[in-house]
Structure 1
Amino acid sequence: MLMTYITAGFAVGLLVGMTGVGGGSLMTPLLTLLFGVSPTVAVGTDLAFASITKSAGTITHRFNGTVDWAIVRRLCLGALPAALIATLILSRYGALDAAIGQVIRYSIAGSVLLTVVALLFRRRMIAWIHAHPERQLQGRALSTATIVAGAVLGTLVTVSSIGAGAIGATLLVLLYPKLTPAQVAGTDIAYAVPLTAIAAAGHWWLGSIDWTLLVTLLIGSLPGITLGSMLARKVPERFLRALLAMTLTGVAVKLIY
């Protein structure tokens, strides 16, 4: 079983390295559906997993100067309080309770479907934004929208561990279309570090992190991410995103039914 977890970590890491998305949206359903891990423990373990891997990515982006820290602060203003509130709600109603586990299972499915929408329609949404510059938010309205987006993402991530990747990056592109792809990736990863860390700490408090599982996943994922990053330029991005979207759609359907 140990090697199975390591292989799963490697496979997810490989996809994340090649596409930039899919960490939570693949890992959490994989743990739930394939390995029979309870939804709450799957979410908690994946959040701890994400906080560690994204910390390494943030360091790289910081040295490359591809993090917009002003945007990170606005996102965190919404995301971090939302993560704390969501954790307290889970605590109040019993995070390890079977009924809450079912709610989390449906939340995972919904977040996966949102990720699919972000993957499939991101280019069209970006094209629309560039074609209608007068619709772009400015000043206080933009700051407020960023904080609200952070709150939505903070809630999604805490409950389902999904949302910080593809959904977060898509919202960044829509709100800040002048950011370069590298800045979008760097900013998206940077704000996700404190968010996933706080959410993971909350799940640790709730007792919903499997530390042995976490270590075995990391053993597989770190070389997987490295290899995937090396292969990223050799495999067509459109093909990878279509494959990922199809896989995630199947996962969401399986989670619901």
Structure 2
Amino acid sequence: MHFDYQMAMGSFLVAIVVGLTGMGGGALMTPMLTVFFGVPPLAAVSSDLVSAAVMKPVGSLVHLRRGTVNLRLVAWLCAGSVPTAFCGVLLARALGHGDRLQNVIEIALGVALLIAASGLVIRSYLTMSAGGPRRAPRDTSPDDAPSAPISVRPIPTMLVGAVGGLVVGMTSVGSGSLIIVALLALYPKLTANRLVGTDLLQAVPLVWAAALGHILFGDFQLSVTLALLAGSIPGVFLGSLASSRAPGGLIRWALAFVLLASALKMFGVGTTPMAWALVAAVVVGTAAWCLLRAWNGLRPLPLPHHDTPPAQPVRTGHSKADTSVVTH
């Protein structure tokens, strides 16, 4: 059995992003397998989910030990996602076999990737607008401080899990990219690392259910899975350790760019049109983002401040009323 070291290195880099942000596992790993290594889409989905079933607990245990997990949210999400994840595998199989099935999986992957990229942009906008003068002052407490208690909404949370589980079962995309964005919309008081920790833990039974379905009914390839595991286990561990200290804004934008490129590739867009589309997305997206920041009362570009600190009064030993300059 041939071991692919390049595939292992690619999975290591993807897993670091997963550990840092809770996103990008299937959204990056599956397109990486199909685009760069020529793995058939269904085999890529199956192998990625089986490796994720081993990778996800590594990152989630780090967050569980730190206390950055909301267990009630995890329970309600799993109540919706576990059964639908298994059903997603059966639905993918019911759509056909051979080239027809691969085409359906590619289109489903492309749609899921576009949704994931859009969700990342929406999440960044919500985070940015929450700190602008047009909104109430944001909470500036550190991520590791105790978060305010939240009121769990069982039905919406279970529906999010159900939709996410179905998409994950069919495409392997969504256990992080889609569900974590929905969690942010439902529970904006959750701090960033608690969002990541909660999402990583709820993804464990979700991907287990989907992985079992793909082992039984999918196109599982052991050689691909072993290469993914060799890189992803240390990668997700390192990313999870750094998740509470590393800024995620730049990573989210880079991830959205990669998701868009992967989606265009899944839709069969040629290299030259895809390159122009990505350039246009960067130019138009940057201009639109600057306008949105200005509309929210922020500087168009988040450049670092270089303000001169106010001059400190010279201590001369005289009384506060004496403002004369002492010369020697």
Sort the TM-score into its range (normalised by shorter chain): 0.7 to 0.9
Q: CA deviation at 1:59?
A: 1.7
Structure 2 CA distance for aligned equivalents of residues 152 and 67 of structure 1: 21
Change beyond 3 A, Cα 1:127–1:148:
farther
CA contact (8 A) 1:129 1:174 kept: no
What residue is the counterpart of 1:210 in the other structure? 221
Structure 1 CA distance for aligned equivalents of residues 200 and 43 of structure 2: 23
CA contact (8 A) 1:126 1:174 kept: no
CA contact (8 A) 2:48 2:228 kept: no
CA contact (8 A) 2:81 2:163 kept: yes
1:26 maps to 2:43: no
1:105 partner amino acid: E
Structure 1 CA distance for aligned equivalents of residues 195 and 181 of structure 2: 9
Q: CA deviation at 1:242?
A: 2.0
SS state of the match for residue 178, structure 2? helix
Change beyond 3 A, Cα 1:206–1:31:
same
Aligned residue runs from structure 1 range 167-178, under 5 A: 167-178=178-189
Structure 2 CA distance for aligned equivalents of residues 149 and 250 of structure 1: 26
2:66 partner amino acid: N
Structure 2 CA distance for aligned equivalents of residues 48 and 76 of structure 1: 18
SS state of the match for residue 178, structure 1? coil
What residue is the counterpart of 2:11 in the other structure? 9
Structure 2: which 5+ runs fail to align? 137-149, 269-328
When the two structures are superposed, what TM-score results if normalisation uses the length of structure 2?
Answer: 0.69
Q: Deviations over 1:174-196 (max 9, x none)?
A: 11122222221111111110110
Change beyond 3 A, Cα 1:209–1:254:
same
| Identical amino acids, percent of aligned pairs | 35
CA contact (8 A) 2:68 2:198 kept: yes
Aligned residue runs from structure 1 range 235-250, under 5 A: 237-250=248-261
Change beyond 3 A, Cα 1:234–1:70:
closer
When the two structures are superposed, what TM-score results if normalisation uses the length of structure 1?
Answer: 0.86
What residue is the counterpart of 2:57 in the other structure? 55
What residue is the counterpart of 2:162 in the other structure? 151
Q: CA deviation at 1:151?
A: 0.8
CA contact (8 A) 1:13 1:221 kept: yes
What residue is the counterpart of 1:251 in the other structure? 262
Change beyond 3 A, Cα 1:90–1:191:
same
CA contact (8 A) 2:59 2:237 kept: no
Structure 1: which 5+ runs fail to align? 133-137
1:103 partner amino acid: V
Q: Deviations over 1:23-72 (max 9, x none)?
A: 21111011111111111110011111111111112222222222212111
What residue is the counterpart of 2:316 in the other structure? none
Structure 2 CA distance for aligned equivalents of residues 71 and 237 of structure 1: 22
Aligned residue runs from structure 1 range 94-243, under 5 A: 94=96, 96-125=97-126, 142-228=153-239, 237-243=248-254
CA contact (8 A) 1:129 1:177 kept: no
Q: CA deviation at 1:84?
A: 2.4
Q: CA deviation at 1:163?
A: 0.6
Structure 2 CA distance for aligned equivalents of residues 231 and 66 of structure 1: 13
Aligned length: 250
Structure 1 CA distance for aligned equivalents of residues 193 and 246 of structure 2: 19
Structure 2 CA distance for aligned equivalents of residues 203 and 82 of structure 1: 13
Structure 1 CA distance for aligned equivalents of residues 126 and 214 of structure 2: 34
The structure carrying a bigger helix percent of its residues is 1
RMSD, aligned CA: 2.6
Q: Deviations over 1:194-243 (max 9, x none)?
A: 11001000000014111111111211223333455577689753333222
CA contact (8 A) 2:63 2:240 kept: no
Structure 1 CA distance for aligned equivalents of residues 182 and 64 of structure 2: 21
Structure 2 CA distance for aligned equivalents of residues 225 and 78 of structure 1: 25
Structure 2 CA distance for aligned equivalents of residues 67 and 234 of structure 1: 17
Structure 2 CA distance for aligned equivalents of residues 8 and 171 of structure 1: 28
